[in-house]
Every structure is written in structure tokens, then in C-alpha cells.
Amino acid sequence: MGSVVSLVRSVWALSYAVHSALVLALIGVAIKGPPTKNQRANLVLSLFNNQMAELPLTVILLNACFYVWLTITGTARESAIVRFFNYINVISTIGLLYLFKRSFEAKESADKFLIQLSKEGKKHVELPGPNSPAFWKQALNPIPFPQDYTKYDSIPYWSLQEQRSAMNSDGWKSVLEMALDVYKPNSVQGGDDRPVFIHIHGGGWTQGSKSWPGPILTELISRKWVVVSIDYRLSAKAGYPTQLIDCKRALRWVKDEIRIFGGDPNNVIVGGNSSGGHMAALLALTPNLPEYQPGFEDVDTTVQGCVPQSAALDLTDMNNYGHHDGKGRFIKDVAHREGSPMSPENINFMKEHSPIFKLKDAKVPFLVVHGDLDLISPVQTARDFVKEFQSKSEASVSYLEIPDAHHAFEVYSSPRSWYTIMAVAEWLEFHFDKKQTGGKNKVQVHELVEWEY
């Protein structure tokens, strides 16, 4: 029996050593890690980088719980390995606290952004600091769901003909992916004509879910916005641009039905992160193009604004900012196209679906949000996009670059993401929230009607 206990303690000690060494290494990468030449490796690193950079206190708590368990089992007292790696964890804790402190530097970027916005006519807003209990309650909640709202879950946005087509080509599962969630503040009633924010989730066009839009949901619900989070088909046999076409189908539904939930169909802003930010930008840049609206070519698919975050804005990456073969994955795994990613046909296809090459069609305001440590969608692409936008379009473009932020950092709840989201919300409110009160023709909220194109 004693040998079994000793073996178990040895396993626990070794696990603690591996865990402690791995956490220390990941902290180093999160502080400033260069991209690798392997896109999958960059994806994994981005996931862990965000765990360290956006949730450092959670990691500290997990480390402490692990050590408490080793103490309870007697492993901490008897194992020299555990005692040694306690010193490693002290170093890790210092590193994690440094990452936590660094997340507050986003406040400076957000403050500068809001000062610039105030010069354009927006009333200046002071962002809360570390002395604000409300801010800590918000920033330290790992899953900050909004309050005083109603969620209408998994509403289908397909027509019957589209349902049959999806079932015949990709099966019933794909039909279930063609759905959206509506989040309505309880104080908003049908006919209130509140601004609408459509959120498109990321996940490399082949993964992800509408179920968690991130902290932006909580912030916009508190400002009485109607939020729509959409799913799209992730594994259609035809490949991309099926995902983009599905997003336009969801927009069609919003235009037809959102007034029932208190939203204004003529005041719709679209946003998203990563691949969702890519499709949000294309939605704003390709309104009413028949090739992306099969069967509903006559439907108006214009939006009033766009907020791409950590977005893939240039699929060609001809400057090799990414240092990895993202083009190959997009062409083969996402678009399901034949041939070399560098063939003229495939390069032209990627240009056709890169927002940076469609800016002559930009007619609505953009706010581009990007982290400067993004390993998946390099920040230089966002900078180039903004410069191109300014030179080719008369529409306004704003840029918010967040220091020390990794890819899709905005979906986590942290001081960095909350400062970013508050700045985004102020921009949205300034440009799109008319706050009309009284005198509106209100309609009773009712069951959705069946419709078909």
C-alpha cells in the first residue's frame, strides 16, 4: 500500500513540475512571442497566450489550488521536486501579475481614442480605473452575461427552399447552423427602433458558435441596443463563400423581423472577430451584390457601420506579415478549391474576398480594432487596411490598436477587453444611437410569421 501511495505522489509531483514549467514558458511567449511558420502552432499559441494575458489571476488561482491539493495529499512535504518548482511558481506569479498590470495599459489607448472622438463632437467619457468597484466586478467575471434582458434562441433565418437545398447538399446539421440568437433589453419594446448590432463569431470559417458573443454583448445590452448573434454553416461541401452568403441571409432576416424585437432595420451595424470580422467587413463592403444573394437578389443588404476586430483583412498576405501558410489553409480547407494557393486563379479569388481590396466600395463608417501581438492576423495588415481606406474612400474610418493584445483577445473578460469594448461602445453610440424617445409608432411583439423567398 505504501508503494502505491508513493507512486501516486510521484505522479502528482511530476505533473506539478510539468505544469509549472509549461506555465512559465507560456508566460514568456505571452509577454512577447514571435509567430512561428506553422499556422496551427500559432493558433495553439494564441489560445494559450490569451489564457495568460487575459486571465492571469485565474491561472494564479489554479496554481494555488494545485499546490493546496499537493499539501493535503502530503506530496508537497515529501517531494523535493515540488519544493523546487514552488520557486518556479513564484517567478510565474510575478510574470502573471506583470501581465495583469499590462492589461491596464489598454486604458491609455482607449482614453486617447475617446479624446479623439470628443474632438469630433462626442461628449468625453472618463473610463473607470482600478479604484472603481463596478469595474472590478465586471472585469474579473470570467463569463459576464448581461442583466435584465431576454434571449430568443436559435431562430432559423432560412427560407423553405434554402432549407431543402441545405439538407440535400449538407444534411440536417447544416440547417441547424443557419440560425441566430436575439438579445433584447427588457426595457425595449417592439417599435422602439433601437440600434441593432449583428455579431459574427470567429473560428477560421470552420469552427465556433453564436452562443457567446463576448463582453460586447453585456456592454451593448446595458446601453439598450438589440444584439443579434448569428451562426452559419461551418462544413458546407461547397466551401466558402457559403459562410458569407449565410451571413447575408441572416441580415435579410434582421431587415424583415428585427422591428418586432424593438430594433431598427435601417440602423444595423455588423461586427465580429477573426474570420467573423472578415465576413462583417465584406458584408459592409458588398451590399446588394447578386452573386452573394442567390435567390434573394432584390433584398437590400446594406448596413450602416462595421466593427471588425482581430479580423482577417487581407487573405493574400503578399507581404508575408503572417510568416505562415494561411493562404494554403484558406484555399484548400475553407474554400475547397483545387490547385496551388499561389495560382493566378486562387490569388484572384482571395483578392475578391479580401476586404482590403474592396475599399473603393466603402460607403459606411468603420472602426477597426486590433491587438499588436496578433499571431494569426498580423497587426500590420490592419494598419495597411486603415491607410488604404483613408486613401480610397470618403467614408470615415477609425482605428483602435490595443497594446500587448493577442488574437481575438476581445472575447475574454479582462481589463484590456473591457476598456476596448467601452471605447467601441462609445464609438457606436456616437455614430448610430439617435436615442429617439416618444412619438414612435409602437407595435406589439408577436410570434414570428412564416415567410419564404
CA distance 268 to 227: 10
Q: Are residues 43 and 119 in the same domain?
A: no
Of the residues 103, 124, 155, which one is the last residue of a structural domain?
103
Of the residues 103, 134, 164, which one is the last residue of a structural domain?
103
Please indicate, yes or no, if residue 81 is contained in any of the structural domains.
Answer: yes
Is residue 431 among the annotated active site residues? no
Please indicate, yes or no, if residue 448 is contained in any of the structural domains.
Answer: no
Please indicate, yes or no, if residue 76 is contained in any of the structural domains.
Answer: yes
What's the domain count of the chain?
2
* Residue 440 confidence (pLDDT): 42
Is residue 274 among the annotated active site residues? yes
**Cross-strand partners of 398:** 367
Please indicate, yes or no, if residue 212 is contained in any of the structural domains.
Answer: yes
Q: Are residues 284 and 223 in the same domain?
A: yes
Q: Are residues 23 and 122 in the same domain?
A: no
3-state class (DSSP) for residue 277? helix
CA distance 404 to 253: 38
Could you list the residue range(s) of the whole structural domain that residue 50 is in? 2-103
* Residue 144 confidence (pLDDT): 76
- CA-to-CA dists, residue 365 to 51, 195, 308, 371, 410, angstroms: 32, 15, 11, 20, 20
* Residue 2 confidence (pLDDT): 61
Given the residues 353, 374, 404, 431, the one annotated as active site: 374
Please indicate, yes or no, if residue 10 is contained in any of the structural domains.
Answer: yes
3-state class (DSSP) for residue 451? coil
Q: Are residues 92 and 148 in the same domain?
A: no
pTM of the model: 0.91
Q: Are residues 192 and 99 in the same domain?
A: no
Given the residues 317, 407, 413, 414, the one annotated as active site: 407
Q: Are residues 79 and 131 in the same domain?
A: no
* Residue 438 confidence (pLDDT): 39
Residue 259: CB atoms within 10 A of its CB come to 21
| Closest by CA position to 405, among listed 195, 26, 103, 27 | 103
* Residue 9 confidence (pLDDT): 80
Of the residues 52, 85, 103, which one is the last residue of a structural domain?
103
Please indicate, yes or no, if residue 334 is contained in any of the structural domains.
Answer: no
Q: Are 202 and 274 in contact (CB under 8 A)?
A: yes
| Closest by CA position to 351, among listed 379, 380, 334, 327 | 327
Q: Are residues 223 and 280 in the same domain?
A: yes
Is residue 353 among the annotated active site residues? no
Please indicate, yes or no, if residue 188 is contained in any of the structural domains.
Answer: yes
* The three cell numbers locating residue 223: 446601453
User: How would DSSP label each residue in 234-270?
Assistant: SS-TT-TTHHHHHHHHHHHHHHHHGGGGTEEEEEEEE
Q: Are residues 147 and 26 in the same domain?
A: no
Q: Is the dihedral of CA 76, 77, 78, 82 positive or negative?
A: positive
Q: Are residues 177 and 218 in the same domain?
A: yes
Q: Are residues 208 and 298 in the same domain?
A: yes
Give, for all 453 residues of the chain, the pLDDT tens digit: 567 767 778 888 899 999 999 999 999 999 987 777 777 788 888 989 999 999 999 999 999 999 999 899 888 887 888 889 999 999 999 999 999 999 999 999 999 999 999 988 888 888 888 788 877 776 677 777 888 999 999 999 999 999 999 998 888 888 889 999 999 999 999 999 999 999 999 999 999 999 989 899 999 999 999 999 999 999 889 999 999 999 999 999 999 999 999 999 999 999 999 999 999 999 999 999 999 999 999 999 999 999 999 999 999 998 888 866 789 999 999 999 999 999 999 999 999 999 999 999 899 999 999 999 999 999 999 999 999 999 999 999 999 999 999 999 999 989 999 999 999 999 999 999 976 433 343 333 333 333 332
Given the residues 46, 92, 229, 274, the one annotated as active site: 274
Q: Are residues 73 and 186 in the same domain?
A: no
Please indicate, yes or no, if residue 442 is contained in any of the structural domains.
Answer: no
Contacts of 348 (CB under 8 A, 6+ apart): none
Q: Give the helix/strand (H/E) hosting 271.
A: strand 263-273
